[in-house]
Amino acid sequence: MTENIAEEGINVLGVHNVVRYKPKRRVIKVCKAENTLIVGFYFNENGIKFYQQKFDDGIRIPLGLEIDVIDYDNVFPQKYQSITSNNLPDNLFYVENHLGDEQVVHTVGINNPSQLKANQWYYVNFHFLEHSNVDVARFEVNLQLVADLDYIKNNYQRVYKEFKFPTRSGLESFWLAYGHSQGNNFFGIKSVDEMFDAHDFFFVIGV
């Protein structure tokens, strides 16, 4: 199902200038002393404008961004203690549902990047109870363009029905099984085509 959505999503929603969906800068930090994983990012003006795209009726297409930190060596447990942010409003980020994921993944989901300020850093902190050996750990970071398909189904049936039947059937089965919480309504509408290894923007703080 997710592969079908990624193949169909851009055309179905009429999204343009897809190359602009990525933040201009991003950083991943680990604070060993406080058992914290910190994800930071900022968009330039073109990035913010990308997320302001609208349907024909003038309503914003519900585009979002997910930043996935894949923790290959289980440095941090999948279950975190809390998620906080110093400057990102609580109503703009969400907890992703990782049901079925084979790896340990920690995700920052931004449901409406169009409300962020251009060229301003935003940080989200994952707080854990413990960690294992960070120094030899392998992390990978994926960026994914997502859209709120539950909102589209409920408000834009014409658009929603442009997804092929197997895709819509898969979505309905998923929602029937797992519900409609915010982590369950955003789906990747574009294949993950660029991955970042730890050495690109990762460093450790503390002892």
In tens, the pLDDT along 82-99 reads 888 989 988 998 877 655
DSSP 161: T
User: How confident is the model at residue 100, as a pLDDT?
Assistant: 54
What residues have CB less than 8 Å from 64, skipping those under 6 apart? 51, 109, 110, 111, 112, 113, 145, 146, 147, 148, 186
> What is d(CA 134, CA 28) in angstroms, rounded to the nearest whole number?
13
Q: What residue ranges do the domains of the chain occupy?
A: 2-205
Q: Which residues of the chain fall below pLDDT 70?
A: 78, 80, 97-102, 136-137, 182, 193-207
User: How confident is the model at residue 27, as a pLDDT?
Assistant: 84
User: Per residue in 104-146, pLDDT tens?
Assistant: 888 889 999 999 999 999 999 988 888 887 776 677 788 899 9
98 dihedral zone (left: phi>0; alpha: psi -120 to 50; beta): alpha
User: How confident is the model at residue 207, as a pLDDT?
Assistant: 41
Question: Model-level pTM?
Answer: 0.88
Backbone angles phi, psi at 32, to 5 degrees: -65, -40
SS3 content of the chain, % helix, strand, coil (to 5): 30, 30, 40
The pair of structure tokens assigned to 110 is: 């931004």
